[in-house]
Amino acid sequence: MKALRDEYNKNIADGMTEHEATVSLTYKIYKGGLLAIQAGALIFKGVRAAGLVLTSSGATGISIAGGAIIGPVAWSFVGIVYIAETSINYRRYKKGDISKTEFIARAKTGAVGTIGGLAGASAGAALGFLAGSAIFPVVGSIVGVLIGGVAGGLVGRKLSVKLFVSIENKIAKARKLRKALKEK
């Protein structure tokens, strides 16, 4: 609470109105809550996968671990996080902070990042399970799934967005080139 109060006072001292300072802090608190939901979703997916892996055996256990993360509960969490992120960007668009084009771009990259994060969490949980089981069976398996799921989710999101942006840029360049060729 003290850190929030200090930041609020700093914003006021920097020339923000009380309303602007409050909105700024509210956004940061909301964004922090969003990160907590994302982390919770990744941990929940990892725990769910660990439970299914521990009740299974062999290669079947690994395939069930990967599939468990992409279950209906995981999709519900992912959907909630995506809707919250898109809602923040929509408010920015309506206030005029970002353009319509920027809003659409953020919605697209958010969707791609969300799917990539889910896929990365699945792969990370499976690899974490294997590594954890090799190091310390049972406990290592659970810890490996949790760490692998979170790390895989973060890496998957980052890589999928990077790939998407790269593809979007190439498409834009191709359209520009086609337009230039038509004009000649």
* pLDDT tens digit sequence for 45-103: 555 555 544 444 444 444 444 444 556 667 777 778 788 888 888 999 999 999 999 99
Top pLDDT among 69 and 136 is at 136
What's the pLDDT score for residue 32?
60
DSSP type of residue 157: H
Which residue range(s) make up the domain with 61? 2-183
User: 75 or 171: whose pLDDT is higher?
Assistant: 171
By mean pLDDT, which of 41-45, 100-104, 167-171 is the weakest?
41-45
pLDDT at 42: 60
Q: If you ran DSSP here, which 8-state letter would residue 136 be given? A: S
pLDDT, residue 142, reads 83
pLDDT of residue 170: 92
Number of domains making up the chain: 1
pLDDT at 162 over 90: yes
Instruction: Give the count of beta carbons closer than 10 Å to the beta carbon of residue 150.
Output: 22
pLDDT-derived band at 44 (thresholds 50, 70, 90) equals low
Average pLDDT for residues 99-108, to the nearest whole number?
91
Measure the N-to-C terminal CA separation of the chain; round to a whole number of Å: 63
Are 132 and 144 contacting, i.e. CB atoms less than 8 angstroms apart? yes
DSSP labels for 50-106?
Answer: HHHHHHS-HHHHHHHHHHHHTSHHHHHHHHHHHHHHHHHHHHHHHHTSS-HHHHHHH
Measured CA to CA, the distance from residue 71 to residue 117 in angstroms comes to 14
In this predicted structure, what is the pLDDT of residue 129?
84
State pTM to two decimals.
0.57
Most confident of 131-140, 144-153, 161-170: 161-170
pLDDT in the model for residue 56 = 45
Of the ranges 20-29, 63-72, 146-155, which one carries the lowest mean pLDDT score? Answer: 63-72
CA neighbor of 104 nearest in space, from 153, 168, 49, 16: 168
